[in-house]
Structure 1
Amino acid sequence: MTTQTETNNAFLIHISAFASYVFPLGGIIVPLIFWQLKKDESAFLDMHGKEAVNFNLSFLLYSFVFGLSVFSTSFFDFPNFFGIFGGVSIVVIIAIIRFILILQAAIKANRNEPYRYPLTIEFIK
């Protein structure tokens, strides 16, 4: 049986990914620290912590690769498929999707439900 404290902590682990808006890599470091502190308290917190950290690491990797592809096509191969403004708009769309997925995971955690982020690489098993 999962307690209200555990569901609140799982909620906070997911929400802590918004620290990336405050400082670089905050979306990875803060959930990782919070998960490390809470993972031994319950399997529920361990599962949600791994999901949050894996998602944010995957998102960082995808953003890096996409950023390199947009940068290389935008500045070296005019005309291109994205163009500068197309690349920026796709980055904004991806950021909005990330925001929605984090909120969705936090709500599921607060409702005591398991959640798996889509397209997440399992760095931590």
Structure 2
Amino acid sequence: MDLDQIEKLSDLKQKGLISEEEYQQAKERILGAQPQQSAPAPQPHTIMQTNNYDYAMVLHLTQFCSWLFPFLGLIVPLIMWQSKKEDAYVDEQGKVVMNWVFSSLIYFLVSVILCFIVVGFFLIAILFVCSIVFTIMGAMDANKGVIKNYPMSIKFFDVRETARTPVVPNSPQN
């Protein structure tokens, strides 16, 4: 079968329908070798690749999904975390996010109960502002490679925190 295809290619080359380079590439493909090209052929469907820092940043920002539908800010980060949990960095960032989500849920429930003595309304407002600020701070840290629990976060999951200024590999030491 391979010999027939190579003979057909040879005929096409002799007739001038394909160039020598095209002939060699097709022959290598038929024989199972990789074609020797300087650049890979463009693929019709390109898969967008992101690094873990970008993924972790989006993981933090998905908490805002709860503004669209209640508890979506819990479900979406949880699914994202579980889908890439094998990556150590994303796993740690997922723990950070879940610590805050569960903490803020507890704080919110306590604030709702305290609404009967009016102070709960103020606590809900403060919690709302803290959630926005902490989520943005966490997203910015995650994009820089920093693992840090949110302030006021109850530690349901053990998180290995890093310094605010991460050490960049292969950089000169100060």
TM-score greater than 0.5 by the shorter chain: yes
Aligned to 1:28: 74
What TM-score results when the alignment is normalised by the length of structure 1? 0.80
**In 2: Cα distance, 1:123 partner to 1:28 partner:** 15
Q: How does 1:87-106 map to 2 (within 5 A)?
A: 87-106=120-139
Local SS of the residue matching 1:123: coil
Aligned to 1:79: none
Greater relative contact order (Cα < 8 A, sep 6+) = 1
The number of residues matched between the two structures is: 109
Aligned to 1:15: 61
Aligned to 1:78: none
**Long gaps (5+) in structure 2:** 1-49, 159-174
- Contact kept, 8 Å, 2:100 with 2:153, in 1: the verdict is yes
- Residue 110 of structure 1: CA displacement? 0.4
Aligned to 2:91: 46
**Long gaps (5+) in structure 1:** 75-81
**In 2: Cα distance, 1:65 partner to 1:100 partner:** 20
Write out per-residue CA displacement over residues 81-114 of structure 1, whole angstroms, 9 at most, x where no aligned residue.
x3xxxx4344222201110000000000001111
Aligned to 1:68: 113
Local SS of the residue matching 1:52: helix
Aligned AA for 1:88?
F
- What is the root-mean-square deviation in Å for CA atoms of aligned residues? 1.5
- Contact kept, 8 Å, 2:111 with 2:121, in 1: the verdict is no
Aligned to 1:108: 141
Identity %: 31
- Residue 54 of structure 1: CA displacement? 1.4
**In 2: Cα distance, 1:124 partner to 1:23 partner:** 25
Aligned to 2:34: none
What TM-score results when the alignment is normalised by the length of structure 2? 0.58
